[in-house]
Amino acid sequence: MFWLQLVSRFIRVLREGDSPGAIAGGFTVGFIVGLTPFLSLQNILLILLAAVVRLNFAAFGLAYFFFGFIAYLFDPWFHSLGLSLLTLPSLQAFYTRLYNLPIAPLTRFYNTLVFGSTVVAIVLAPAIFFAAREGIRAYRRSWAQKFQDSQAVRFVRGLKIVQWYFKVRDLELS
Amino acid sequence: MRKKALVVLAIVLLALLVYLYVRRNALIESAIESAGTAAVGAKVEVDDLSLDFLRLRLGFDRFQVTNPNDTWHNWIELGPSGLKLEWKPLLWNRYVIREFYVREIRFNSPRKTDGAIPGKRPKPAGPSLTERARKVLQAKLDETPLPDLARFAQRRIDVDSLIRVLGLTTPDSVETLFTHLQGTAQELRARVVQLDPRDELERVTGLVQPIRPAEIRSLAELTDALQRVQEARNSLQRYRTRFDSSRAWVRSEIELANRRMQRVDDWAKADLARLRASVGLPSFDVAEVAQMLFGPAVVDRVLTALQLVEKAREAMPYVEKAQAFARAGKVQKPPRGKGINVSFPVTERWPKWLVRRVEISAVSSRTDTTRAWFLSGMLQNFNSNPRLFGKPATLQLEGRTTQGTRFRLDGLLDHTSEIVLDQFDLQVTSLALGEVPFPRSRYFPSSLQLNRANASLQFELKGEDLRVDMLIRCPDAAFLFDDPAGDDRVAQMLRRLFSDIRNLDLEAQIHGPVDHLSLRLRSNLDVLLSHQLRTLVGEQIAQAQAQLEARVQRLADEQRRRLLAWYDANLRPVAEKVEEYRTLFEERDKLIELKKQELERRIEEEKQRQKSELEKAARKKAGEILKKLP
């Protein structure tokens, strides 16, 4: 139910509602939080940010779950990247300074997985944001109607579980 | 900005804070339990934890650490205790306990539930220090098992059939040696043929022999002869250098062959030891009795101490995991979703966790004070990164009972430098050690009861070098038997012997690198027991032993004689020939030296003669000149 609700909302906001920037922002924050281990100071701050600023929650949730799964697959690679970056001789002075600041250790930047995945997330975040924003614009401009009329969507809409979901949703609305 | 979202967020945050506050005790309890369980490898449990958030004080009613080797007992159990955290390090994600008060403490207390962790335990990278030490010490103990006296008391040992079944390896080893020696002898003989210097020596002799210094008259001829002698000498020297190097090789080969031949005795000894071990023949040597009886109990306790020290090393490593594998050049694979923490130098010298001071003023049982231990002491500077903290952890603990038993334990865990040092000194007075079990045997006691023992234990583990010295003096010891002696004469006599023993002095030493430990045990019973055991069941054993020794000795003698005969026939002539050649060289050397001296003497004489003739002629000429003067 939760999943159907999440996907349904996401498809709906793609078509109408929030601005493409807000949806892309929610998606990007979800991407960052999903890609990195959940328990860190920066993630908590990001979630607060997503709540306070006008970012789309459906996009955030979907991106969080999707990239959480991707992160699991890439876990060993993030660890290796984090390890090689954290042991770079030229950056030792910077890390040492950061390590000795109060609060900074609460970000767990010294953890190979946290650092590796965060670096990847930060590097890819702008690209994800712009790609998502442009994608939504393009979708609204020319693909939304085609998508709605497509056989795949008609098939999904025809599924019993989806029908049942719509009934429940409409009940909730009424 | 979303006003609604802000309100919702504030409500959520407030709810979260309320939840954390209400559930704080359970959450911290669970965190301590999971961290402790992961570190120990068996359940660590905290009961009724309470946190005073503002004062950063933490207390609990019970803290149990399961013994991972016996999960129905605790290593340690603390009663109501309290601790105080420092707030500043928390900002750096560090946990520093300023003071820890312990008021009730129990060791090896039974558990109500099994403390084992369900599921598979993670496999360690390699065998632990304790496992390595156990393997070495067990091998030492296996050399002196508690003998099954029934076998020797009731029947005769058939040495011949034993040798037939088990066989002796000495003849095979000698045959292999023979094959090797044959090759060496062939090579040596070929070399000796090449070494033959007689032709060269004849040539040299031919140069020197014809020279007759007495018959040479002119100085020029004499100088020429000396020149020829010198050339002959140089040639001889050249041959000699070549010969000497070959001779050295031949001699070293012969010496090596000799040494190999002497290994027959070692092979025979090994055969004897193997036969003795196969049949389980005890020697009852004075040096082995204490090891046979007390070895397993002593080793077991030392290994327990070693395991505790090893756990302390794991908890307080000199090098953190990440640095250790970076140093080893390995890429570590942590479990998914975990990663590893990399450490950086810190200006604030706080390790991840640090217990500055644990003050113990405790009793082991509040209900039964007659049997309780009253403990007082101090543990200091226990921490997760001793290298960073720079100070070793120390431990002083004293205990006493109302019955007058006392102990004092001083410990040092110095993990601040690369060679990690762990030291403990334990002194115990008037301690009832209880029953020390022995391996099960019909003839030997099932356990030893030590009432009022004085004991001392010095334990040092430096890097991987272990040094344990243990001394137990007990004036009130009793050997206990489970089963009655029955009609067995040997069992009855042994029982009488052990029943008379009241006084026990035991010394144990375990020294050396963990992989090459030496084990030595001595007790005041060694001579007595050795003598009595030999008297009781020694006849059959001695007979079998003597027969075995005689058989193996006879075999060794035969093989030795065979080898000596072969040596006399093959290698001795080679050695003698080489020495003969050496004599020839020396003879020629003497001859040349003689000729040289003779020629030099003749040259000197000739020079003198010519000089006097010249003087004579000069004087004559001068007289003639003087006569002609007016």
What single string gives the DSSP state of each residue in B275-341? HHHHHT-----HHHHHHHHHHHHHHHHHHHHHHHHHHHHHHS-SS-HHHHHHHTT----PPTTT--B
> Does A84 contact chain B (CB < 8 Å)?
no
Mean pLDDT along residues B281-285: 66
CB B104 within 8 A of CB B374: no
CB B393 within 8 A of CB B420: no
A contacts of B8 (beta carbons < 8 Å) = 51
Is residue B395 scored above 60 in pLDDT?
yes
- DSSP letter at B91? G
H or E, element range at B465 = strand B465-474
> Does B339 contact chain A (CB < 8 Å)?
yes
Is residue B491 scored above 90 in pLDDT?
no
| DSSP reduced 3-state for B270 | helix
What pLDDT score does B494 carry? 77
B contacts of A116 (beta carbons < 8 Å) = 339
What pLDDT score does A108 carry? 86
| DSSP reduced 3-state for B624 | helix
> Does A95 contact chain B (CB < 8 Å)?
yes
Q: How far is B356 from chain A (nearest CA, A)?
A: 21
> Does A89 contact chain B (CB < 8 Å)?
no
Q: What is the mean pLDDT of chain B?
A: 83
User: A146-154 — which CB contacts under 8 Å span 24+ positions?
Assistant: A148/A15
* Chain B residue at shortest CA distance from A69: B337
What pLDDT score does A31 carry? 92
Is residue A44 scored above 90 in pLDDT?
no
Contact between chains at B344 and A92 (C-beta distance less than 8 A): yes
* Chain B residue at shortest CA distance from A22: B1
pLDDT in tens, B331-362: 557 777 778 888 777 776 678 888 899 998 88
What pLDDT score does B150 carry? 64
Q: Which residues pair with B473 in a beta bridge?
A: B454, B505
> Is B288 or B231 the better-scoring residue by pLDDT?
B231
Other CB atoms within a 10 A radius of the CB of residue B27 amount to 14
CB B223 within 8 A of CB B606: no
B contacts of A76 (beta carbons < 8 Å) = 333, 336
Instruction: Write down the domain spans for chain A.
Output: 2-142
Contact between chains at A79 and B340 (C-beta distance less than 8 A): yes
Sign of the C-alpha dihedral computed for residues B27, B28, B31 and B36 taken in this order: negative
B367, B470, B348: which is closest to B109 by C-alpha? B367
Mean pLDDT along residues B555-583: 87
> Does B367 contact chain A (CB < 8 Å)?
no
Give chain A's length. 174
pLDDT in tens, B65-112: 898 878 888 888 888 888 898 888 887 778 888 898 888 888 888 888
Angle between helices B286-315 and B526-566 (to 10 degrees): 100
Mean pLDDT along residues B173-196: 85
> Does A90 contact chain B (CB < 8 Å)?
no
* pLDDT bucket at B474, cuts 50 / 70 / 90: confident
The minimal CB distance from A52 to the residues B1, B338, B343 is found for B1
Percent of chain B with pLDDT over 70: 90
- How far apart, in whole angstroms, are the C-alpha atoms of residue B496 and residue B476? 17
- DSSP letter at B92? G
Q: How far is B390 from chain A (nearest CA, A)?
A: 18
Is residue A174 scored above 50 in pLDDT?
no
Angle between helices B3-22 and B24-40 (to 10 degrees): 60
pLDDT in tens, B141-156: 887 777 666 666 555 6
Is residue B122 scored above 70 in pLDDT?
no
Contact between chains at B92 and A102 (C-beta distance less than 8 A): yes
Strands (E), B2-160: 44-47, 50-52, 57-60, 62-67, 70-78, 81-85, 95-107
> Does A94 contact chain B (CB < 8 Å)?
no
Contact between chains at B91 and A53 (C-beta distance less than 8 A): no
> Is B252 or B482 the better-scoring residue by pLDDT?
B252
Q: Any idea which residue has 């950056």 for tokens? A: A91
- Give the CA radius of gyration of chain A: 19
Contact between chains at A37 and B337 (C-beta distance less than 8 A): yes
A55, A51, A29, A52: which is closest to A42 by C-alpha? A29
pLDDT in tens, B5-34: 678 778 888 898 888 888 878 888 888 888
* Chain A residue at shortest CA distance from B350: A100
What pLDDT score does B511 carry? 93
Is residue B192 scored above 80 in pLDDT?
yes
| DSSP reduced 3-state for A78 | helix
B contacts of A120 (beta carbons < 8 Å) = none
Sign of the C-alpha dihedral computed for residues A87, A90, A92 and A98 taken in this order: negative
This model of the complex carries an ipTM of 0.71
- How far apart, in whole angstroms, are the C-alpha atoms of residue B221 and residue B244? 34
The minimal CB distance from B344 to the residues A54, A96, A111 is found for A96
- DSSP letter at B513? E
